[in-house]
A = this chain, B = another copy of it.
Amino acid sequence: MISTKGRYALRVLIDLAEHRGEKPVPLKDVADRQEISKKYLEIIVKELVAGGFVSGVSGKGGGYRLTRDPLDYTVGEILETMEGSLSVVSCLGADPVDCPRKAICKTLPMWKEFDQMVHDFFYSRTLEDLVEQNTGLAGDYYVI
């Protein structure tokens, strides 16, 4: 599961992308538009600042702004920063458990393949794609 941290982070960044201009965007505005508690967003934005995704401007007239062009953010790096890791199993991921059975495990190859697929999916999508609602398949895969 992707937690609210990762999901809200994406929505904050999309919001900042959509409302970027001269002035930084106050978190209160983002919170109101996204209908998320501002207090909770503070925690999330703090991590986005630490990760170098956004910069904050204190004081009146302050707020947050993106540090790069929306095209230069991959969804993968955002989610990985917020979630710690995108791996589905503990044998892989950030600090993998050194499983003594890895040489004989019949399921490990599948997990590896899955992890690779997930990685490819999220790292091939940018913040710009989300703002513009481009699908990853650049076509009419979707039938609503």
Residues of A whose CB lies within 8 Å of any CB of B are: 1-2, 7, 10-11, 14, 35, 75, 87-90, 100-101, 106-107, 109-114, 117, 121, 125, 130-131, 133, 135-137, 141-142
Q: Are A10 and B107 in contact (CB under 8 A)?
A: yes
Contact between chains at B121 and A141 (CB < 8 Å): no
Whether the pair A7, B135 counts as a contact (CB closer than 8 A) is no
Residue of B nearest to A4 (CB): B90
Within the oligomer, what is the number of copies of this chain?
A: 2
Asked if B142 contacts A109 (CB within 8 A), the reply is yes
Ordered by A's residue number, 22 sampled pairs between the chains whose C-beta atoms are within 8 Å are A1-B1, A1-B87, A1-B89, A2-B88, A2-B89, A7-B107, A10-B107, A11-B106, A11-B107, A35-B101, A75-B110, A106-B130, A106-B131, A106-B133, A109-B135, A110-B136, A112-B142, A113-B136, A113-B137, A113-B141, A117-B117, A117-B121
Q: Which residues of B contact A101 (CB under 8 A)?
A: 35
By a CB distance below 8 angstroms, the chain B residues around A7 are 89, 107
Point out the residue from B111, B113, B117, B125 that lies within 8 Å of A142, measured CB to CB: B113
Q: How far is it, in angstroms, between the C-alpha of A114 and the C-alpha of B130 when the chains are bound?
A: 14
Those 4 A-B pairs whose CB atoms lie nearest each other, nearest first: A2-B88, A14-B106, A106-B130, A10-B107
